Amino acid sequence: MKLHELRDNEGAAKKRTRVGRGPGSGKGKMGGRGIKGQKSRSGVAINGYEGGQMPLYQRLPKRGFTKPNAKKYAVVNLGLIEKFVEAGKLDAGNVTEETLVSSGLVRRRLDGIRVLAKGDVKSKLTITATGASKAAIDAVEKAGGSLSVAAKADAAAE
């Protein structure tokens, strides 16, 4: 076999139908668009229109609500904090939101940092954060440390 003998298998590459190229093509004159009307014109796409049938977006139920001013918290697990303490990137006696960001464990504070209980805690940690799960607080206290949740500014205003 030589390079000039290489070609696709029969039927592997289907030729594109060239529309509107004369009567001999079978798709000439109106190009398969019928006579007149909105859909025969160029630049028309009737999105979501299903020919008078109730469109899908109207048939489906509308439920729920997304709060536009919902708080978005950065989440960190106890196992990762423990790993950073062992690596010497965090001081176990003083873990705050600022130290978590500066160590690179959390990228951004967002509306605060929330501590979750995934992972094991062996060292005596002193953590201050915006939020924490009950399981995380229990896990830290079991290891002999303390996890304090900072008073929220919103709660004081209410």
Q: Note the pLDDT of residue 151.
A: 67
CATH of the domain at 115: 3.100.10.10
User: What is the tens place of the pLDDT at every residue in 61-112?
Assistant: 999 998 999 999 999 999 999 898 888 888 888 888 899 899 888 998 889 9
Per DSSP, the chain holds a count of helices (H) and strands (E) of 5, 5
| H/E run at residue 115 | strand 113-116
The residue range of the domain holding 126 is 74-152
In the block, which residue shows the tokens 């000039």? 4
> How many structural domains is the chain composed of?
1
Q: Note the pLDDT of residue 55.
A: 92
Instruction: Answer yes or no: is 50 within a domain.
Output: no
Query: How much is the average pLDDT of 42-69?
Result: 89
Instruction: Answer yes or no: is 102 within a domain.
Output: yes
- Taking the C-alpha atoms of residue 67 and residue 48, their distance in angstroms, rounded to an integer, is 27
Helix axes 78-86, 134-142, angle to 10 degrees: 40
